[in-house]
Every structure is written in structure tokens, then in C-alpha cells.
Structure 1
Amino acid sequence: MPIRLPSRATTLTLIETLAIGIAGGLVFWWANLPGGLISGAMIAVGAMGTLGRPLGLPLPLAHVILMTLGISLGSMISPQMLHNLVHYPFSIGILAISTFGATFASSYYLRRFHGWDRMSAFLAGTPGALSQIISLATECKADVAGIAVVQTMRVIILTAALPMLLSLIGLAPHAGFSGRGPAASPLELAELAAAALLAAVSLHKLKFPAAWMFGGMLGSGLLHGAGMIEGGLPLPAYFAALIGIGTLIGTRFARISGRTLLSHIAAAFGSFAVAITISAVFVGVVVLVTHARLSDVIVSFSPGAMDAMLALALTLHIDPIFVSAHHLSRFLFVSIATPGIVHLFGRTDEEIDD
């Protein structure tokens, strides 16, 4: 079977998307903004997309970006981080309470102040698991456009604002990379790539959430945690992973038209404020009761997408094991509980009135 080359239009779209993402990331990095490579690429691509540019990345490239991000995360793993896993059950339990508290508070806000129907408000208020939420919204004939705006804006705000916030309060570095170790040798890089690819493909076949990113992290983490490899990705590959994930997040935002965005922007900001306030209360509980670092807990409890929050953990030198354990747990909470809640309480307001 002959290999089909991408069309000229597809190739030009890819080149334009990458050029905008690289330019935005490098400008933010040059300005020494915390998390600048990610947030700069994300904002540049998202802004150009809402202005009408047909931006996007092919799925295979997205998988490579996510796996590269996972390899970088895995290179931060140490035996001490693995030992600390025993301290997580309490904070994960608090995260479950925080997740459902933020979800129902955001849902109430959208219904009370913006007149959303029950189903759309609940799905918009549910953090993470965006693909599952959109799928449920389509099946239930909810307001898919509104839900997409609220969910995507939450990720955009968190990805852009969290590095700034953590830097302002002295909990995260600026754009420097002093915390990175040496680069692995060519042979070690080949071993990392092989282990990451094997783990990612295996998890993908098992339909594991965020399989390409977690597979890369698992393969790399096992090699680093066992002391078989000490070095990480070379700096250019590290830069590419951060700019790539920012570009990938920006393409999600780029799919939303300017008119749709403007019509739901107030609901997006308002529901975000409610969710982040609820989350902040539970962050305080965990910090007071456990020995977890405030920066680790803030990123772990932030109601954003797993890939975006783990990318921030990478660039801000935050414990990747702690953050990934909590975001994966929340993904599982949402994936398991949301369909049942939709089934039990998902009737529309009109059906209730009848």
C-alpha cells in the first residue's frame, strides 16, 4: 500500500502553527517570564487561531510531543520521590472532595447567574477529562460550544497564570533551567526513547488515559528511578517539548471562533473564579495537615488538564510524581463518576418542570 504524503495545505498549516508557537514561546522566554516557553506558545497559537487562522498539529506529532514531555518528566524521578508515594492517600482523598465541590459550585454558578441548563452547567464545571466531557455533551445534546469555551478557558488561564503566581510568591523559578541535570549520552537517549515508546504503545492499547505522556514518563521514570540512567534530554529537545505542549494546548483554543468565545467569556471567567476559590480552600487544608510543599499542592489541585499541569510541573521544577498521582486520580474520579451523575441527575430543566 503506497504511503500518502500530506497535502500542501496540511504541510503549510503545520509549518505556520509551529512557527507561531516557536515565536511566541521564545518571546516569552526572552522576556524571562516563568513558564514562558509553554505559555508563550499557547497564547500565540490560541490568539492567531481565534483571529481565523486554521492552525493545528497532526495526531502523530502530538503523540511525539506528549511522549517527549513524559520522558522529561520521568528524568526528574528519584528514589526519594518514589518513597514519598506512601504519603499521598490523604491528599488524594481531599482532592476528590475538592473536585466534586468545585464541580457542583461552578455548576450552580452557571445555572444561577448565566441561565445554563442543568446538564450543560454540570459538564462545564467538571475539571479535566475534556474529551470525555465533550463526548457526553454531544450525546446528551448539551451546549457543546459553551462547555468547550469554559473548559478551554480554564486550562488557558491556569497555564498562563500559575507560573506567574508561583513566581511572585517565591515558590517557583523564572525561566532559567538551573535545576536540570546533564544530558544523557546518545546510547542512553536511545534506551529512553525505546522504553518510552514501548510503555506508551502498551498503555495506548489498554486505553489508559493520557497514554503517550504517561507512557513516556513511565519508561523514563523506571530507568531513572532504578539508577540505570542519570541524564535527561538535551536542552534543545527540552525546549521543543515545552514549546510543543504549549502549541498543542493553543490549537485547542484555536478551534473556538471569536464570536463563540465572546458569547461565553463571562461564564468562563466566573465559573473559573468559583472553582479556583473552592480548590484554594482544600489546598490550605492539605498544606496545614501534611508536609507537602505548597507549590506541589497548588499545581496538583489546580482544575486544569493533565498534560498542561504536568508540563508546568516540568518547567517549574515541581515534584512530577506528586502532581501526576493527583491529576491521574482526579481523571479517574471524573471518568468514573461523571457518566453516573449524568444518568441520575442529567435531566434538562424542561423535563423537570414537566
Structure 2
Amino acid sequence: MPPFALPSRSDTLKALETLAIGSAGGLLFLWLELPGGLISGAMIAVAGAGIAGRPLGLPQPIAHIILMTLGLSLGSMVSPVMIKNLSAYPVTIALLAAATFCATFGSSFYLQKIHGWDRTSALLAGSPGALSQVIMLATERNADVAGIAVVQIMRVIILTAAVPMLLAATGVLGHGPLPSRGPPASALALAELAAVAVAAALLLRWLNFPASWMFGAMLGSSVMHGAGWVEGGVPQWAYLTALIGIGILIGARFGKISSRTILSHIAAALGSFAVAIAISAVFVAAIALITHVKFSDIVVAFAPGAMDAMLALALTLHVDPVFVGAHHLSRFIFVSIATPGIVHLYGKAQDDLDD
């Protein structure tokens, strides 16, 4: 299909159905006042419909707009108070790297010893927060791509739904389904933000930077707001739509996996998730004891889930999105750089895989 061709009727209907199902699920969870309900409701509704056999999904241009809107919303929340917290970042980011390393090898050991996975597949399944890179590497190394995808995406699904519930149950969340937000930016400011966001995203994409659409928009918005050049964020309707949209994107990814594949790997996914969470919890507890960072900020920053999902949660929960964003970006870069080397050193040799 030419790059600027109009979508077919079937693609349009699929996108509309996906948006309708995701919106219904998100609004239902919001009405029930569940923490993070817009994201988790849309995610669960779309994933369930996909597993039931509905071919759901959104075209790439809409996905890019959702991610950029999310980035603009995150950047608009930058404030001098958040910047002051930068002094705590080196310590917590170093501990995050250690937690990621330990959780990856812990999950890998579990998958090998309990479920009989090969070393390469187990290592890739245990690497959190860089799904696209992990799947590409798994394909190159002839690893168990289906099993890795189930383990990775199941972890994202559970964390996206469970983290808000955990924080609400422990009483560390503020009251209400959504945190308070400032006034929306003027039309001129929004146009400036959009132009800067697109330029930054295209630059990062040209540099092959991970998650370029979201982080380009976040970077541009952060600079504009941090420098005082614009005030206000995206309108409430755009903010709410982006939250539903990110849930739809996660749910559609999971819904494309067949139910047979999910069932065949469900035990491995749940077991490796439990190991990763247990290891991460040790580091979360240590940081909570040695620093003054809010417990809720630490939990969302150290949750071994997808970067876009965890940053979206930072918008819906009463946490510091700059702190969370810095840590998930750090882990994304760490995993993207370290995982190929770890697989090369500790995974099966390529000759063994090709036999």
C-alpha cells in the first residue's frame, strides 16, 4: 500500500470497533472509580475481545498520535519541585540497574529450571521493558518467540492492572480516580507544543532512539514548560483519550496471541512474573528505607513493565511522572544495550541454535 493511501473500509471498521470496545472498557472502569481505570479497562476489554476472536487494532498513525499526546501530557507536568528531586536520581537509577539485572537472571533461572526453557529464550523473556528489541533479538537467535511474547506481555497486563490496585489497597494513593490537572494551554501554545513535539520525535526517530514518538513529545514539552515558554497542558478530553488509547494499544498486542499459545505458557508467565516482582520488591523496600522518595513513586518506577504503560499510569496516579520517566527510560536503555551482550555471553551459542 502506498504510504499516503487512504485506509480500506475493513481497516477503518476494525479501528472504529477497537476504539469503541476500548472506550467502553475504560469508561466503565472510570465509572467504577478504579485506580488507573481508563488504561486497565481499555486494555482488558480489547485484550478479551481479541482473544475471543475479534481482529482488533489501530493503524500506526493513530498509535503515534496517542503516544505523542501521552508525551505532551507528561512533559506538561514538569515543575521546579520535580527538578529538585534530581539529586536522588543517581542512587535510585543505579539500584534500578541492579534490580533489573537480578530480576532478569532470577526469572531466567526459574524458566530454565522449572519449565525447561533454553537459556536464550529464558534470558530474553526475563528482560523487562524493551519488548520490541527483545522480540527482534529472539527472532535473530531462533529463540521461542511465542513464549517470550506471552511472558513479556502478560507481565505488562498484570502490572498495568495490579499496580494501581496495590497502591490503593496500601493507602498511598490520593483519593479520586484521576489526579488534579492544571488549565489547558491556549490554542497558540498547543500549536507550538505540537510543532516542537513532532520535530523532536522525528529527530529522535532519525537517531534510532527508542520510543521516539512518546519521548520526543515528552522532551519537547518538558523543555517548553521548564523554560516557561508555555503554560498549561493538553485539553482534558485529549488527556483522557490518550489514556484509553495506551490501554487499547497494550490490549490489542496481547489479543493477537492465540488462546492456545497463551494457555501453553501461562504457568511460565505467572511464575517468572512472581520471581521478578519478589526481587524488585527487595530493591523497592531498600530504596524506601534509605531515601525520602515517595513509596508510590518508587513502586511505579521500579515496576518491570512496559515503559509506555508505566508512564501512562504516572499520569493517572498521584506520582511524580518525571521521576518515573527518568527511571523507565534508564532501564529501557540499559536493557537495550545490555541484553544482546548478556544473551551472547550466557545464552546458547548461535551454532547450537542453528542445528
Label 1:345 to 1:76 Cα distance change in 2 as closer, same or farther (>3 A): same
In structure 1, the partner of 2:145 is 144
Distance in 2, Cα, partners of 1:302 & 1:344: 26
In structure 2, the partner of 1:115 is 116
- Is the contact made by 2:37 and 2:177 (CA closer than 8 Å) also made in structure 1? no
Label 1:49 to 1:82 Cα distance change in 2 as closer, same or farther (>3 A): same
Distance in 2, Cα, partners of 1:143 & 1:177: 39
Distance in 1, Cα, partners of 2:42 & 2:314: 17
* Alignment RMSD: 1.8
Deviations 1:234-289 (A, max 9, x none): 11111101001110111110111111001101110110000000000001111111
- Is the contact made by 1:94 and 1:282 (CA closer than 8 Å) also made in structure 2? yes
Q: How does 1:225-304 map to 2 (within 5 A)?
A: 225-304=226-305
Distance in 2, Cα, partners of 1:349 & 1:186: 55
- Is the contact made by 1:35 and 1:175 (CA closer than 8 Å) also made in structure 2? no
Distance in 2, Cα, partners of 1:54 & 1:197: 30
Which amino acid is the alignment partner of residue 15 of structure 1?
A: L
Label 1:2 to 1:205 Cα distance change in 2 as closer, same or farther (>3 A): closer
Q: How does 1:133-282 map to 2 (within 5 A)?
A: 133-173=134-174, 175-282=176-283
Deviations 1:65-120 (A, max 9, x none): 00000001111110221232122111111111100100011011111111111111
Distance in 2, Cα, partners of 1:18 & 1:122: 35
Q: How does 1:93-132 map to 2 (within 5 A)?
A: 93-132=94-133
* Deviation (angstroms), 1:348: 6.3
* Deviation (angstroms), 1:135: 0.7
Label 1:191 to 1:317 Cα distance change in 2 as closer, same or farther (>3 A): farther
- Is the contact made by 2:179 and 2:318 (CA closer than 8 Å) also made in structure 1? no
In structure 2, the partner of 1:61 is 62
Determine whether 1:16 maps to 2:17.
yes
In structure 1, the partner of 2:319 is 318
For the residue of structure 2 that corresponds to 1:88, the secondary structure is helix
> Where do 4+ consecutive residues of structure 1 move more than 4 Å?
348-352
Q: How does 1:79-94 map to 2 (within 5 A)?
A: 79-94=80-95
Distance in 2, Cα, partners of 1:257 & 1:50: 6
Percent identity over the alignment is 68
Gaps of 5+ in 2: none
Q: How does 1:32-71 map to 2 (within 5 A)?
A: 32-71=33-72
* Deviation (angstroms), 1:189: 1.4
* Deviation (angstroms), 1:2: 9.7
Distance in 1, Cα, partners of 2:329 & 2:175: 27
Distance in 2, Cα, partners of 1:191 & 1:155: 33
Distance in 2, Cα, partners of 1:32 & 1:278: 31
- Is the contact made by 2:39 and 2:246 (CA closer than 8 Å) also made in structure 1? yes
Which amino acid is the alignment partner of residue 148 of structure 1?
A: A
* Deviation (angstroms), 1:16: 0.8
- Is the contact made by 1:32 and 1:174 (CA closer than 8 Å) also made in structure 2? no
In structure 1, the partner of 2:28 is 27
Label 1:2 to 1:72 Cα distance change in 2 as closer, same or farther (>3 A): closer
Scaled by the length of structure 1, the TM-score of the pair is: 0.96
Distance in 2, Cα, partners of 1:273 & 1:123: 16
* Deviation (angstroms), 1:3: 4.5
Which amino acid is the alignment partner of residue 212 of structure 2?
A: A
For the residue of structure 1 that corresponds to 2:94, the secondary structure is helix
Which amino acid is the alignment partner of residue 111 of structure 2?
A: L
Scaled by the length of structure 2, the TM-score of the pair is: 0.96
- Is the contact made by 1:33 and 1:174 (CA closer than 8 Å) also made in structure 2? no
* Deviation (angstroms), 1:221: 1.0
